[in-house]
Structure formats: C-alpha cells, structure tokens
C-alpha cells in the first residue's frame, strides 16, 4: 500500500528545471523528518515564534502576537499539509483541510478533516494529526502547518483545535499558515488551564 509521503515526494520532485537548487523535503524513506529539523535549500529552521531567540529575518525581539515570515522549512511542512488535504473527507462543506505536525522525535504526522452527517461527530485536520501522533506515542511537538480551502488564504485553526493544541504545546508553539508563522499563544491568548 503506498505511503502518503510517496505521493508527496512524487509531487515535490517533478523534473522541472527552474534554475534554482533542488527543493529537498527533509524526510527519509520511512517518512521521518530528518533531525535536527532537516535542511531545505540548506536553510536551517528552529521554528521560533518569539523572543526565545531572534529570527534571522527579524533581528528585533518579537512577541507572541507577531507573525514571522515563512522560510523554506515552514514551506516544506505547508507542502505536506497541502498534499494530504486531498485525502480529506469533506462531503458536506467541500472545504478540504490538511495538517502536517512535526514531532520532536523527527516524525511528521498528517491529518485531514473528516466530516459526518452528524456534524459534531466530525474531526478537524489539526486534531486528526495530533490524534495520529499521540496514538503513536508522541507527546512533544515542534510545529504544525495547516492548509485549507484556497491554499493561498490562511486557514486558522478553530477555537476547539486551538484549545486542543494548548493541551500539548506551549504558548510559543509555531503554527504555520500560508501567510506566516504564528505562535499558539497569539491565536489563543487566554487558553483554559486546569
């Protein structure tokens, strides 16, 4: 049975000579993201979202509410989210969403939205990706990319997903959308805690 990453590799590694360096998605043959979080066009990514360190393109300290620009590593996760989005089951809304979750172990977990005639029984792509990762034993995560609808328009996680992500991730956790890298704490400034 073909692995979803086989389709992604076929999509990414088409033979097109655009004059640029080859785009290398940092995955090994098993779909594991190479650690440290890989290299894409020889650009390292630390998935920082605020002043825990300075972002190379923004020497000023940032806050959780700043949106950082996309770099090649963030685009790689977005590409995975876009590719898996095609597997979404969106029979009722026709709004297909894909998510790619990078775990600190190095693996990438994909998720899609799955709708149901009983709407509350459906699941969002973000929670689907987390469910796959958690089922595999993961508990620490590096970043999440989300693509839905028009891939050029940001697809923000819903409120339930934001709170769900906050159960496992800190406020500076990077959420990668089509227009930049957001911090979870900026999207969910007053999350519920027990």
Told to judge if 126 belongs to the known catalytic residues of this protein, a careful annotator would answer yes
Query: Which residue, among 154, 169, 141, 151, has the nearest Cα to 88 in the 3D structure?
Result: 151
136: Cβ–Cβ under 8 A, 6 or more apart, which residues? 107, 109
**Cα 194 to Cα 86: distance, rounded to the nearest angstrom:** 37
CA 42 to chain centre: 20
Catalytic entry in 16, 86, 126, 167? 126
CA 193 to chain centre: 24
Calculate the CA dihedral of residues 27, 52, 72, 1 and round it to 10 degrees. 30
Instruction: Supply the residues annotated as catalytic.
Output: 126
């Amino acid at each position: 049975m073909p692995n979803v990453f086989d389709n992604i590799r076929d999509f990414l590694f088409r033979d097109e000579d655009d004059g640029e360096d080859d785009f290398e998605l940092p995955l090994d043959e098993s779909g594991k993201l190479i650690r440290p979080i890989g290299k894409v066009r020889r650009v390292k990514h630390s998935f920082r979202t605020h002043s825990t360190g300075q972002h190379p393109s923004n020497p000023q300290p940032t806050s959780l509410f700043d949106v950082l620009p996309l770099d090649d590593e963030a685009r790689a996760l977005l590409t995975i989210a876009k590719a898996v989005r095609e597997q979404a089951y969106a029979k009722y809304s026709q709004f297909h969403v894909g998510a790619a979750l990078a775990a600190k172990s190095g693996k990438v977990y994909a998720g899609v939205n799955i709708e149901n005639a009983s709407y509350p029984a459906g699941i969002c792509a973000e929670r689907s990706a987390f469910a796959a990762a958690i089922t595999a034993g993961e508990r620490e995560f590096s970043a999440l990319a989300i693509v839905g609808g028009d891939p050029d328009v940001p697809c923000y996680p819903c409120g339930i997903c934001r709170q769900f992500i906050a159960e496992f991730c800190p406020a500076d956790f990077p959420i990668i959308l089509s227009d930049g890298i957001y911090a979870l704490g900026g999207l969910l400034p007053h999350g519920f805690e027990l």
